[in-house]
């Protein structure tokens, strides 16, 4: 019998920038707060994909944060 892994619905991405002095967590939380519950998991997965695509440089972080900011703006403006 095979056990299927059930992935917990995400409310925040598991991967994001942090260091001893700075973290993107609060910024990400503020953007995620305007995204409807039914889309949060999907948005988190896409953020992680974009962030991890550039792990060897800051491009992944910039790409992921720019994309998330755009998604959040759609909901604040009521476009989405």
pLDDT in tens, 10-67: 999 999 999 999 999 999 999 999 999 999 999 999 999 999 998 777 899 999 999 9
pLDDT-derived band at 7, boundaries 50, 70, 90 = low
Global pTM reads: 0.83
Question: For residue 68, what are its two tokens?
Answer: 């998330």
The CA-based diameter of the chain, rounded to the nearest angstrom, is: 49
Q: Give the three-state DSSP class for 50.
A: helix
pLDDT at 2: 56
Q: Where are the domains of the chain?
A: 36-77
Pair of tokens at residue 67: 């994309």
The reported pLDDT for the residue numbered 6 is 61
Instruction: List Cβ<8 Å contacts ≥24 apart for 37-42.
Output: 40/9, 40/10, 40/11, 41/9, 41/10, 41/11
pLDDT value of position 8: 79
pLDDT at 80 over 70: no
């Amino acid at each position: 019998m095979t056990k299927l892994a059930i992935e917990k619905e995400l409310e925040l991405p598991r991967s994001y920038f942090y260091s001893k002095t700075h973290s993107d967590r609060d910024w990400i939380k503020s953007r995620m707060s305007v995204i409807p519950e039914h889309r949060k998991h999907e948005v988190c997965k896409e953020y992680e994909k974009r962030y991890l695509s550039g792990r060897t440089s800051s491009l992944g972080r910039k790409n992921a944060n720019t994309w998330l900011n755009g998604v959040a703006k759609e909901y604040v403006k009521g476009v989405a």
